[in-house]
Amino acid sequence: MNILRLFKLLLCSLAITIAGTSFAQAEEGTDPLNKPEIWGMLTSDPGSTFLWSTYVGKPWITLTYNEKERVESWKLELLATIQASIEEKVVAEEKAQPVSKVWGEGQSQEEIAHVEEVKLAAEQEAHFKEIESQMLKESAEISSLKSNVVMNFILIEENFETEYNALGEEYTYYEMVHPDGKYSREKWVTEKSKELRVLKKKEFQRLKAQMIQEEMGY
């Protein structure tokens, strides 16, 4: 989807009258706001705060605490769905592999339990790595806008602000640090992209810990 079409989606979402279910009345579950096109993009890029803002139809900075919490719960559900999909893929691949011997043959119950525990731990870590990769991936919007930093600089900074705010951080605009405009904008964008990746990694670690606690029933 090109940038123009994505901005049209955002403008439509911000309209006073929104077709379909409203944010406040949304049901839990897959695609709670019934916006399949944007939801489909979120399944490929769940870490994009710009897409989440587009999905709910509000700039992230205007969301209330409860609204942000609700979006956060949707994100966790989406990540769990992605994880389940990965698990299904792993199971399917395992079933497709030929069995060289009968499982557990010649092994004690303790050995079988240990092997199974190690296997599950490895699979869980692989799942988390996949989720981390999705979250740390640069949003399609910023990546596309970077093709011409000078022309798209204002839009890039607006996207940065949305991403930073979604992570609970405040974005400082270029002109506030370099009012004379002499500092390279390309270098600034590169530095902020790296900084944003660090913040996303920190957020992933928080979500990972939360998901592990939920699995353990804490």
Asked if pLDDT for residue 52 goes beyond 60, the answer is yes
Q: Return mean pLDDT, the chain.
A: 76
| pLDDT for the residue numbered 97 | 62
Asked if pLDDT for residue 4 goes beyond 50, the answer is no
Question: Comparing 59 with 155, which gets the higher pLDDT?
Answer: 155
Work out the pLDDT band at 23, boundaries 50, 70, 90: low
Taking alpha carbons only, the member of 82, 184, 181 closest to residue 132 is 82
| pLDDT for the residue numbered 163 | 87
Dihedral angle, C-alpha 61, 65, 66, 70, nearest 10 °: 60
Mean pLDDT over 98-109 rounds to: 56
Work out the pLDDT band at 215, boundaries 50, 70, 90: low
